[in-house]
Structure 1
């Protein structure tokens, strides 16, 4: 089954450019749906089960969201889709803190600048397959500077948003309850085992004969069920319980 992608971008030239970036980034069969405004994007999302991707309809797996739109702001859509089962990436020209941090707080899994070169955007978007958040180099530097400047007594102050793809928050989340592996499905246990052995998302997908987007969905579910925020925490808990 083809991977469904939604690109929300009001500029036709930029939208065509992002379509090329997406097609170049992934080897999977891709079906791209384009939207030039919030209303159109919401209609497409409604057809795939609404803001939570329910009703048994195949949802989008990747959504690129522009921030400034003719009928509103992409932040609105990010807030609406906080529970939608897709990887959500902001694609914008804004690199300032006033846009970056609110977008991350509203559930963005990555932040890319449209002014970056084609090759850079492709390389960053491909990081999804490796379980890393797609961040334009300038954005990564800004985040690093922000957190280095927020040190408090040797520790970094929590920014209030959780990072995507299993990367830890600005400070480790305490593990207060033991892993209950009975809550995991057999598929999730298998994914957890591979994760604990250091395999990448793409490698796990190949070993299990499934799409990498599906592996990413399993990982998000594992982290949620085990109340962890990184591969390392999940591996520690799994090891303590003798799962790996």
Structure 2
């Protein structure tokens, strides 16, 4: 029998935690093992429980969710994936969350099904980066790269030597991954099995020294492997 996904809920509003507890606790295969009302409590409970997934609010008294996420991700004794949940659809929260080590980001007004799916995705070791979020990541880093490099360098960016270690197929997978395609979509595009694609993704992350799919998207656009405006269609 497969062990349930163990979840820690972190939010300063008890009513919000209660709602998440009902949604996730009623889903077979998911168990809410603890709760915390602030970032300090999140860190302490994460060390105590080492859950599979931490559902983390952003704005909380004392230590906020982003600071707590950074400390949790940096702790080698904690293997939890952090899912940021917020009511604020703001780019600064999104990018701060990604830079602090979060593996996923969804809004609190998402459907219960979306919350359950996000927890399941992170528990599998994947990162949750929906296509609309991917586009915002692309636009943000494209603007940043163009501003730093200047017009002359915007279209030609140096390729890191680590890219040379990728096989042709792995490079294809990275380019499609960076456009926001899920493993199943990449599999259909390249006429491969989904398990094969997952293996390719794992090898890409390992060879490039990346933590997850989110970092792979950032890497691909920062280094010109794919360009802003590229479409998976």
Measure, in 2, the Cα distance between the counterparts of 1:33 and 1:4.
9
- Residues 87 and 200 of structure 1: is their aligned pair in 2 closer, same or farther, counting only changes over 3 Å? farther
Residue 105 of structure 1 and its aligned partner are, at CA, apart by 0.5
Corresponding residue for residue 19 of structure 1: 21
Residue 81 of structure 1 and its aligned partner are, at CA, apart by 1.4
Indicate if the aligned counterparts of 2:24 and 2:30 stay in contact, CA closer than 8 A: no
Corresponding residue for residue 67 of structure 2: 76
Corresponding residue for residue 134 of structure 1: 128
- Alignment partner of 1:121 is 2:122: no
Indicate if the aligned counterparts of 1:2 and 1:31 stay in contact, CA closer than 8 A: no
- Residues 46 and 120 of structure 1: is their aligned pair in 2 closer, same or farther, counting only changes over 3 Å? closer
Residue 89 of structure 1 and its aligned partner are, at CA, apart by 0.8
Residue 116 of structure 1 and its aligned partner are, at CA, apart by 2.1
- Length-normalised TM-score, structure 2: 0.57
Which deviations, in whole Å up to 9, do the C-alpha atoms of 1:47-93 show, x marking residues without a partner?
24xxxxxxxxxx21111111111222111111111233111111111
Corresponding residue for residue 52 of structure 1: none
Alignment of 1:19-98 (within 5 A): 19-23=21-25, 27-48=28-49, 59-83=50-74, 84-98=78-92
Which deviations, in whole Å up to 9, do the C-alpha atoms of 1:162-214 show, x marking residues without a partner?
xxxxxxxxx988346699xxxxxxxxxxxxxxx9953289xx9xxxxxxxxxx
| Aligned residue-pair number | 177
Question: Any unmatched runs of 5+ in structure 1?
Answer: 49-58, 158-170, 180-194, 205-218, 234-244
Indicate if the aligned counterparts of 2:11 and 2:38 stay in contact, CA closer than 8 A: yes
- Alignment partner of 1:174 is 2:162: yes
Indicate if the aligned counterparts of 1:147 and 1:156 stay in contact, CA closer than 8 A: no
- Residues 173 and 82 of structure 1: is their aligned pair in 2 closer, same or farther, counting only changes over 3 Å? farther
Question: Any unmatched runs of 5+ in structure 2?
Answer: 147-153, 168-186, 217-233
Local SS of the residue matching 1:13: helix
- Residues 173 and 101 of structure 1: is their aligned pair in 2 closer, same or farther, counting only changes over 3 Å? farther
Residue 130 of structure 1 and its aligned partner are, at CA, apart by 7.0
- Residues 102 and 20 of structure 1: is their aligned pair in 2 closer, same or farther, counting only changes over 3 Å? same
Indicate if the aligned counterparts of 2:12 and 2:60 stay in contact, CA closer than 8 A: yes
Residue 101 of structure 1 and its aligned partner are, at CA, apart by 0.9
